């Protein structure tokens, strides 16, 4: 068993540490959090320049696809610097590139993958609806009707990350009405400049520099060939594409914990009370010890899930556990980190309040912690408890 990074991975880690230190420094991230609803184009172009978007695209389409472990080495640094930026760039690579690469026709791959590799396109994934995100099969009411020469889409989506800036929306619709729900969904590539699409903002406390918005589709016409994968089989095809998403979200929790630990560890050595640094108080050391343990656990689980994925072994269980442990660890780190900072823990002057706010989002997106626990016990063979 070998837990160490190889030479190339160490170089990759250093390269991204340097990149994040320079391009995602704390002042700039705070500025973004207070002023923008998506990272500025100037920053996006820096990710293009360093080759980030090529990492999710197979070589024959202009990319240099990385293994899951390598991409997590990169993602860890981005997640530590800003959950919002990780979401913003990860939505295009994790949804856009993956859906097209795994489910697209050859013509679609030739058309879109080189553009995605060059960072010329932004994409989002529109699955969740106002009726509920956990019982997704029961809640989807967005319909795609097959007409003679096009599909006609009507319905509503909610909480769709990056849809307000996306060029294309990977949209999951019901296409069949006379069969069981799991055989009724299909996936479509919807150009966001189609007539009939409107976007509504959802003000929220977390991830301020990467908005998640509502979308209404009203008689939206898209070409026949924009069906991704096979009609009616979208649920099963989509799950395979989405499985790695949990590994990426787990890494967001790891990033938050790492940042909160680093900041709090430095703070307890500077801040004085009762004639010395607060770091000498046992209870604050215990807070830090728990954050450190949670961080190590979540990081190990996340890399294990990524390693299993790279080695073609089942990783669903580990990815679900990693997401759960990382989400809860991040919330704990934000809460106790804020306590260590005292009043400054809730002041915008320090990023601790951002870690805490961003950690909230991970508790239920893309899958809630409750549902994760349901599934874990189902995987272990207990009766299905959740429907
Ligand atoms: C900021 C943000 C970004 C998002 N980005 C995207 C995106 O890009 N694309 C997209 O498609 N979706 C996105 N989502 C949606 C996200 O996946 C859903 O919010 C999530 O699936 C939960 O659905 P819900 O919010 O409707 O909660 P609900 O499904 O209404 O759940 C409410 C509560 O009930 C619990 N619950 C439900 N069923 C059970 C059960 N059987 N057993 C136990 N507990 C249960 C849940 O755990 C939760 O605590 C995003 C959400 C947020 C908040």
Q: What is the pLDDT of residue 157?
A: 98
CB distance 191 to 168 below 8 Å: yes
Report the percentage of the chain scoring pLDDT > 70. 100
- 368 C-alpha to ligand 1 centroid (Å): 6
DSSP state of 94: I
Q: What is the pLDDT of residue 156?
A: 98
Name residues contacting ligand 1 (CB within 6 A).
Answer: 124-128, 132-135, 159-161, 212, 361, 364-366, 368, 370-371, 374, 386
Return d(Cα 382, Cα 386) in angstroms, integer.
Answer: 11
Task: Specify if 1 maps to a domain.
Answer: no
**Model-level pTM greater than 0.85?**
yes
Ligand 1 probe mutation, 96, 98, 123, 128, most atoms within 8 A of CB: 128
Task: Specify if 175 maps to a domain.
Answer: yes
Secondary structure class of 41 (helix, strand, coil): helix
CB distance 322 to 301 below 8 Å: yes
Task: Specify if 228 maps to a domain.
Answer: yes
Task: Specify if 387 maps to a domain.
Answer: no
CB distance 186 to 229 below 8 Å: yes
Confidence band, pLDDT 50/70/90 cuts, at residue 42: very high
CATH number for position 361: 1.20.140.10
Q: What is the pLDDT of residues 81-119, one digit of tens each?
A: 999 999 999 999 999 999 999 999 999 999 999 999 999
Ligand 1 probe mutation, 129, 139, 155, 159, most atoms within 8 A of CB: 159
Extended strands (E) in 224-366? 227-228, 272-273, 276-277
For residue 204, the ligand 1 atom closest to its alpha carbon is: 1
* Mean pLDDT for the chain overall: 97
Return d(Cα 263, Cα 21) in angstroms, integer.
Answer: 14
Task: Specify if 385 maps to a domain.
Answer: no
Q: What is the pLDDT of residue 291?
A: 98
Where a domain ends, among 179, 201, 232?
232
In this structure, the answer to whether residues 175 and 62 fall within a common structural domain is no
Q: What is the pLDDT of residue 227?
A: 97
Query: Span 362-369, mean pLDDT?
Result: 96
Q: What is the pLDDT of residue 3?
A: 93
In this structure, the answer to whether residues 260 and 291 fall within a common structural domain is yes
- 233 C-alpha to ligand 1 centroid (Å): 22
With 90 as the cut, is the pLDDT of residue 149 above it? yes
- 287 C-alpha to ligand 1 centroid (Å): 29
Q: Whose CA is nearest to atom 37 of ligand 1?
A: 134
Where a domain ends, among 86, 104, 122?
122
With 90 as the cut, is the pLDDT of residue 122 above it? yes
Confidence band, pLDDT 50/70/90 cuts, at residue 158: very high
Confidence band, pLDDT 50/70/90 cuts, at residue 241: confident
In this structure, the answer to whether residues 34 and 109 fall within a common structural domain is yes
- 361 C-alpha to ligand 1 centroid (Å): 10
In this structure, the answer to whether residues 13 and 102 fall within a common structural domain is yes
Return d(Cα 313, Cα 384) in angstroms, integer.
Answer: 24
In this structure, the answer to whether residues 189 and 89 fall within a common structural domain is no
Q: Whose CA is nearest to atom 11 of ligand 1?
A: 127
For residue 202, the ligand 1 atom closest to its alpha carbon is: 1
Return d(Cα 17, Cα 346) in angstroms, integer.
Answer: 27
Q: What is the pLDDT of residue 277?
A: 98
CATH number for position 73: 1.10.540.10
Q: What is the pLDDT of residue 387?
A: 85
- 366 C-alpha to ligand 1 centroid (Å): 7
User: What spatial distance separates the first Cα and last Cα of the chain, rounded to whole Å?
Assistant: 39
Range of the domain at 27: 7-122
Q: Whose CA is nearest to atom 7 of ligand 1?
A: 160
- 132 C-alpha to ligand 1 centroid (Å): 7
In this structure, the answer to whether residues 186 and 202 fall within a common structural domain is yes
Q: What is the pLDDT of residues 46-55, one digit of tens each?
A: 999 999 999 9
In this structure, the answer to whether residues 157 and 227 fall within a common structural domain is yes
Whole-number CA gyration radius for the chain: 21
- 246 C-alpha to ligand 1 centroid (Å): 14
Q: What is the pLDDT of residue 234?
A: 97
In this structure, the answer to whether residues 319 and 273 fall within a common structural domain is yes
Provide the 10 A C-beta neighbour count for residue 40: 14
Q: What is the pLDDT of residue 19?
A: 98
The values of phi and psi at residue 24, to 5°, are -125, 45
Return d(Cα 257, Cα 54) in angstroms, integer.
Answer: 28
In this structure, the answer to whether residues 247 and 373 fall within a common structural domain is yes
In this structure, the answer to whether residues 247 and 375 fall within a common structural domain is yes
With 90 as the cut, is the pLDDT of residue 240 above it? no
With 90 as the cut, is the pLDDT of residue 35 above it? yes
Q: Whose CA is nearest to atom 52 of ligand 1?
A: 159
Task: Specify if 152 maps to a domain.
Answer: yes
Query: Span 183-202, mean pLDDT?
Result: 98
Where a domain ends, among 209, 232, 255?
232
- 369 C-alpha to ligand 1 centroid (Å): 10
**DSSP assignment string, 153-214:** EEEEEEEEETTTT-SEEEEEEE--SSS-GGGSEEEEEEETTSTTEEEE----SS-TTS-EEE
Query: Span 162-166, mean pLDDT?
Result: 98
Burial environment of residue 214 by CB neighbours within 10 A (0 to 12, 13 to 18, 19 or more): buried
Task: Specify if 237 maps to a domain.
Answer: no
Q: What is the pLDDT of residues 305-341, one digit of tens each?
A: 999 999 999 999 999 999 999 999 999 999 999 999 9
Ligand 1 probe mutation, 94, 133, 170, most atoms within 8 A of CB: 133
In this structure, the answer to whether residues 32 and 82 fall within a common structural domain is yes
Confidence band, pLDDT 50/70/90 cuts, at residue 242: confident
- 136 C-alpha to ligand 1 centroid (Å): 9
- 36 C-alpha to ligand 1 centroid (Å): 25
Task: Specify if 238 maps to a domain.
Answer: no
In this structure, the answer to whether residues 252 and 348 fall within a common structural domain is yes
Q: How many CA atoms lie within 13 A of 54 on its CB side?
A: 12
Number of domains in the chain: 3
Burial environment of residue 183 by CB neighbours within 10 A (0 to 12, 13 to 18, 19 or more): middle
């Amino acid at each position: 068993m070998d837990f160490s990074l190889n030479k190339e991975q160490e170089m990759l880690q250093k390269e991204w540490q340097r990149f994040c230190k320079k391009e995602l420094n704390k002042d700039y991230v705070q500025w973004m959090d207070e002023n923008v609803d998506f990272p500025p184009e100037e920053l996006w172009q820096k990710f293009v320049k360093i080759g980030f978007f090529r990492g999710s695209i197979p070589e024959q389409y202009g990319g240099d696809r990385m293994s899951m472990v390598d991409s997590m080495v990169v993602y860890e640094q981005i997640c530590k610097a800003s959950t919002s930026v990780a979401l913003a760039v990860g939505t295009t690579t994790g949804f856009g590139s993956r859906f097209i690469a795994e489910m697209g026709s050859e013509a679609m791959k030739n058309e879109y993958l080189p553009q995605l590799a060059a960072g010329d396109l932004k994409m989002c994934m529109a699955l969740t609806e106002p009726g509920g995100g956990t019982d997704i099969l029961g809640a989807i009411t967005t319909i795609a009707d097959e007409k003679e020469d096009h599909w006609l889409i009507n319905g509503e989506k909610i909480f769709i990350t990056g849809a307000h800036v996306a060029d294309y929306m990977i949209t999951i619709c019901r296409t069949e009405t006379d069969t069981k729900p799991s055989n009724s969904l299909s996936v479509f590539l919807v150009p966001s400049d189609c007539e009939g699409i409107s976007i509504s903002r959802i003000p929220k406390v977390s991830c301020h520099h990467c908005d998640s918005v509502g979308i209404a589709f009203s008689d939206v016409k898209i070409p026949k060939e924009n069906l991704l994968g096979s009609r009616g089989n979208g649920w099963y095809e989509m799950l395979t594409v989405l499985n790695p998403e949990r590994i990426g979200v787990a890494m967001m929790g790891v990033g938050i914990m790492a940042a909160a630990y680093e900041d709090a560890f430095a703070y307890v050595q500077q801040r004085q009370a009762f004639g010395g640094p607060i770091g000498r108080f046992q209870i604050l050391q215990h807070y830090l010890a728990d954050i450190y343990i949670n961080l190590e656990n979540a990081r190990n689980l996340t890399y294990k899930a990524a390693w299993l994925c790279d080695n073609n072994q089942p990783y669903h269980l580990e990815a679900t556990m990693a997401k759960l442990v990382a989400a809860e660890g991040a919330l704990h780190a934000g809460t106790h980190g804020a306590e260590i900072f005292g009043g400054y823990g809730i002041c915008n002057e320090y990023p601790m309040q951002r870690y805490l706010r961003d950690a909230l989002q991970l508790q239920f997106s893309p899958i809630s912690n409750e549902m994760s626990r349901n599934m874990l016990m189902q995987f272990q063979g207990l009766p299905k408890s959740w429907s």
